[in-house]
Structure 1
Amino acid sequence: HSSTWIEGNLLSLAQVRAVVDGRDLLVEEKQKTEVANCVGAMRQILKTKRKPVTEQGLLAVHARMIKGLLSKDQTGQYRSVQNHIVDARNKVIFTPPPPAQVPGRMKALFAWAKDESLHPVIRSAIFQHEFLTIHPFVDGNGRVGRAVGQWFLWEKGFDPLCTLGLDDFFAQDRPRYYDMIQQTRDMDGDFTHWVEYVAEGLAWAHDDVQKRIKAGTLSLQGASLTPKQEELLGILEKKGVLGASEIGKTMKVNRARVNQLISPLVRLGIVTREGAARAVRYRLNEE
């Protein structure tokens, strides 16, 4: 949903789910095709996620991502025309290399990506940025670039569950996403801020997954937390193992109120109680 939305697709998350489920929608056919193709391309990558990213693999991802949206000679093929990057006012802000340079630039990029000494996040981030700068296809560059950026992480063992939210991070502040891409170009290829930005996004995506899992677990258990209980869980998550008096001081409540808040969490298995009497300590159950 987020990757296609970044590129201007207007379908809501609920509509995207309907497309994935095969239900019919009264919306523009192109919008549905973009979403279905993006889901199909990501599933295609996931089937072989531990295999190295290759140029042939990238072309196959583009072919799946853009299926039915471009002519056959432009699907899974590098562009043969000049393209331009424009801003919201349709003003050209960047011109990618001419089409004659694209194959050589892409081969050089894949040769660089073979450097195993780089941290996977750095390798993924820089590859994605350089890919977007080359802009090798007539259309679909953003979607393919973000998808292959994920693939570089998955081949090194990153859990897709914890990285797919990176597109959500980009989408929640789309102007910043585009500004960060252009800023790196303006800085003559200093990737420092771009890599930090992608790393920030991955950390955000990981935290978001943790919150969703916790919320889903509580829902399955039939639990509904109060704001104070959420605050208490946040304190334990941050500080680790604490006694009731320490929790009370942090939350500015008495010991009886701490027991009132934490007892249901212990019964549900969300919090573990250790020790006895006044020596009792509490921690989050990580099992």
Structure 2
Amino acid sequence: MLKPRYQITHLILDHLTKISAAREVIINAPLVPKWELDLRREALIRSAHASTSIEGNSLSYEEVSNLEIGREVTAFGKDRQEVLNYFDALKYLDKLIMVEKITNKDILKLHKMITTKTLDNPEYSGKYRHGNQYVIVGNRFTGEITYKPPATREVPELMEDFLDFINEIDFKKLNPVLVAGIVHYEFVRIHPFIDGNGRTARILATYILLKSGFDTKRFFALDDFYNSDRPGYYAALKTVNSTKRELTEWLEYFCEGVDVSLEAVRKKIMLLTGGKSRDMGFNQIALGEKHMKIVEYVRKNASVTNKKVRELLNVSNKTAYQVLETLCKYNVLAKRGGGRNVFYILE
């Protein structure tokens, strides 16, 4: 059974306190749906751009943003596919967090989504290393070997322990941020795949923050912090002694990343709302997933009709009308045209 070793230092405690305070501001901010949608989209793009950039992807933030809305970009080799794959994996987490327990099958599916059409050998996609396969971790620029993962024969048992740890966690007893940091490191340590381990580890850290209910708004991108400080990121991972596996320094760095990322979102929200919160008597407009789905569709396609809403949500004409009227009531959408030619655009 995986039993992580670490100490709660003053630095970790300080970061966790700041994280909690920033999270409260974010949760209680009276954001209008358009702002909320924009913040979610920005976090999605930043995560995909940063996590793939860490691994050497050359696409700019603007190019990744264009890919997210379906625009074509000129990209070399596998760069475009890597980003599209990462978008798919991030969106798949919405389904994965609804499952009671995560399994090896889920991990393999995530890896396959992340690496499809990007590996030199396609057979490695969605499969743990096995047989005589082995990996070494090194600096792609200097050729220096920085880490030798456990032997391939140990992977099955290590992954079982890893999954048991995740599935048995009580988030009331262990802070989700610490759990995410532990999961991130442990997956990198095991290195169960020939390639794509870093991206999968970062996806799993995000999964923990979503599954635990910590990141309910999905406004921040932790990967952005790593990408802005790649030397620090790799140095922090290397602080964990391969024998003793004491995680304190790594967790200090990981908590700093969450702290910095949430603080950036908090500042942005304070600017958008003028510092207002629900505690001050300002109401937050709460829209369900079906409403957000329609808003997202309009953002990408400029307008929507009642017929299209029925198709997208698989609902009746009456329900589609109610959804659209709710969005108009909150000044999210505006009605245009008349009779059979009615359509809706963003307000």
Seen in structure 2, the aligned counterparts of structure 1 residues 2 and 212 have a Cα distance that, compared at 3 Å, is same
Matched, 1:59 2:108: yes
CA distance in 1, matches of 2:275, 2:146: 53
Structure 2 residues not aligned, in runs of 5+: 1-48, 283-347
**Displacement, 1:201?**
1.2
- The residue number in structure 1 matching 2:60 is 12
Task: Identify which of 196, 200, 210 aligns with 2:256.
Answer: 200
Q: 1:69 maps to which residue?
A: 118
Shift of 1:187: 7.2
1:52-131 equivalences under 5 Å are 52-70=101-119, 71-80=121-130, 81-87=133-139, 88-113=141-166, 114-116=168-170, 117-131=173-187
**Which of the numbers 206, 212, 222 marks the counterpart of 1:166?**
222
Task: Say which of 206, 211, 216 aligns to 1:155.
Answer: 211
Shift of 1:214: 3.5
C-alpha separation in 2, matches of 1:167 and 1:69: 20
Partners of 2:238 and 2:161 in 1: CA distance:
21
Residue in 2 that maps onto 1:26: 74
- Does the Cα contact within 8 Å between 1:150 and 1:163 map onto a contact in 2? no
SS in 2 for 1:9: coil
Kindly tell me: are residues 271 and 62 of structure 1, through their superposed partners in 2, closer, same or farther at Cα, counting changes over 3 Å? closer
Contact 1:53–1:151 under 8 Å retained in 2: no
Q: Displacement of 1:12 after TM fit?
A: 0.6
Task: Tell whether the 8 Å contact from 1:184 to 1:194 is kept in structure 2 after alignment.
Answer: yes
Length-normalised TM-score, structure 2: 0.60
Q: Deviations over 1:112-161 (max 9, x none)?
A: 23232432222221121011011111111101100011101111102254
The amino acid across from 1:130 in the alignment is: E
Q: Following the alignment from structure 1 to structure 2, what is the Cα–Cα distance between the partners of residues 160 and 76?
A: 28
- Of structures 1 and 2, the larger Rg is shown by 1
The letter for the 2-side match of 1:55 is N
Query: Larger relative CO (CA 8 A, sep 6+): 1 or 2?
Result: 2
Count matched residues: 224
Percent identity between the aligned chains? Answer: 30
Distance 2:149 2:209 in 1: 26
Kept in 2: contact 1:42–1:147 (CA 8 A): yes
* 1:235-279 residue CA offsets vs partner (Å, 9 max, x unmatched): xxxxxxxxxxxxxxxxxxxxxxxxxxxxxxxxxxx368xxxxxxx
Shift of residue 22, structure 1, vs aligned partner? 1.9
